[in-house]
Structure 1
Amino acid sequence: MTEAYNDADKQAVYRAIYERRDMRHFCGGSVDKTVLARLLGAAHAAPSVGLMQPWRFIRISDESLREELYSLVQSERQATANALGERESEFLALKVEGIRDCAELLVVTLMDKREPHIFGRRTMPHMDIASTACAIQNLWLAARAEGLGMGWVSLFEPDALKDLLKLPEDSEPLAILCLGPVNAFYDKPMLEQEHWAERAPLEDFVMENQWQTR
């Protein structure tokens, strides 16, 4: 029989899950090196297909490089707004990143030379992306437990980011992560607070035995 956590520990795990937020508002400050190491250790403890550990983390410490990343995101922000049609102005009113304000900036990318890793990927090669998403979620939950905010920014042109950071040709950038102290965590996801979208009820996503059209 597996050993369940005690009630307090279980509550702490669920609290981190339900209080995690995709943060956009940061208040500068810093992240202690030992805390950052713990967070990256939590990320690296994630499960991965065939234990390939496809994630790579690039810490951005150069301020001019941070500014170039900001410009890259702003370009895609405008392109996304243009593609949204009637919701363009509504989208542009949203704060979609905290690149200039966060204490730490991390870029997460898939490793290069992934082709030899076929364990669990022969028919589903995208499982390397799923594995890396698990690592990011681990980091996110650990950050929340440490009282730090984190935001996942996906508004960028991948090839431009690869050129900027001199990534290998066969790597694939997945995320710009903003990490650091915040004045407060959102009461609920920011996109819900801003009435961009609403979380649908769980029962709409759970089926049994076969696909069920609702």
Structure 2
Amino acid sequence: MRANAHLTRITCSGIVDADHYRDDDKKYLGDLGIETLPVAEIESVALLPDVSQAIAEAEGFRGEELEQRLKALSDSIFQSVESDEKIEEVAVRYAKRRIDRTLKKLDLSAARTTDQIEQEYKQRTGELDVQALAGQFKDEIEQALGRRDLPRLLALYDNKGLMALAASKLKSCRQRDFESWLTRTLRNKTTPGVVDAIVRHLPKIKPF
């Protein structure tokens, strides 16, 4: 709609998952009115330390019991990826996204012959060193694990199954019930502490 602004008064802005976007990708999206979350998947906002704490406090946990709940959650998240096999799975998803984005950005409109198409294709895809990219990504995952840096891990690690851990450790319920509760909380603002903690991590949208 922005490309055809003369046809409508409506414009679009929004928020997307971090999804392993690089800084240049984020800037490109930002210029289009699209901001990125600080976590790989929006569900993981509930797993950020201060949000998890707000949820646990809303359940009545305090003091040592609160700390135990939060530690149990963070430990289970770290354990879910603490193996070469799991790290490789995440790295594969990362590499596929990078390849997919490179191909989507491939502009062959200037090519006039099949030779030019082949040359441009080989040049652009040849710039993508999959092994180097995957190796760097694995290093970042391992550094987050080594430092027990949960926010950083959640920025890199995409796994919707982590919500089941939050449900179990924070509310002692099933994932479906936890997600329903969270939806009601955000819609009705019945638990202001949880809503405020989540909102702090949401990027500010600039209307166009």
Structure 2 length normalisation: TM-score? 0.23
Task: Say which one has the larger Rg.
Answer: 2
Q: Which has the higher helix share?
A: 2
TM-score normalised to structure 1 length: 0.22
